[in-house]
Amino acid sequence: SDGSLLNLKPLYSIITNIEGEHFGYFKDVKSIIEVFRKFINQTQNTGAVYLNIDDMNTRSLYSECKSKKIAYSIEDSKADIFASNIKLKSFGSEFTVVFKGRELGKMQLNIPGSHNISNSLGPIALATDIGIDFTIIKEALKDFKGVKRRFEVKADIENILIIDDYAHHPSEIAA
């Protein structure tokens, strides 16, 4: 929200999306993209940057990344890692993970929406890159129930489902 991510020099970076918000600090979307451009190039050369190329603004930084870079996608099968055979369910999803041309296996998430499939691909790629077995990754994500105030089920009373979600800008609301 304030550009302070530039104080970090990460070993690994995952960029899910870049869009307009926090205009009390940032002048416009271009200034937000510029902060992310600097950030990804502060990622250590011994690490890697994982970029969601389904997001137009994140994709625009792919060619400028100086570190090792991994593209992930739920739309583009040419990405380094992508989800295929996607099946959305009421409160979860199933999909097959393909990493660098090799099918790793089927994944199950217990949080809803294609955006959560997309969000899972960066950590799956990173974990795979550092040598974590896919079975362990699969079990860890299967048990993940989400975070507070992101499609958080508060109650189910007499078939009335009460959900708390802090979505507050257009793409979050759409998701």
For the residues of 90-136, what is the DSSP string, one character each? Answer: TTEEEEEEEETTEEEEEEEESS-SHHHHHHHHHHHHHHHHTT--HHH
Q: How many residues does the chain have?
A: 175
Angstrom distance (rounded) from CA 93 to CA 146:
13
Angstrom distance (rounded) from CA 129 to CA 149:
30
Angstrom distance (rounded) from CA 111 to CA 151:
8
Q: What does the pLDDT read at residue 151?
A: 62
Token pair for 138: 């699969």
Burial class (CB in 10 A: 0-12, 13-18, 19+), 42: middle
Q: What does the pLDDT read at residue 20?
A: 60
Q: What does the pLDDT read at residue 48?
A: 96
pLDDT in 10s for each residue of the chain, 175 residues: 778 889 989 999 999 998 766 557 667 788 888 998 999 999 999 999 999 999 999 999 999 888 899 999 999 999 999 999 999 998 889 999 999 999 999 999 998 889 899 999 999 999 999 999 999 999 999 887 766 656 667 788 888 877 676 665 666 556 5
The Cα-based distances of 153 to 62, 112, 146, 148, 165 in angstroms read: 36, 11, 10, 9, 9
Q: What does the pLDDT read at residue 152?
A: 67
Angstrom distance (rounded) from CA 83 to CA 115:
12
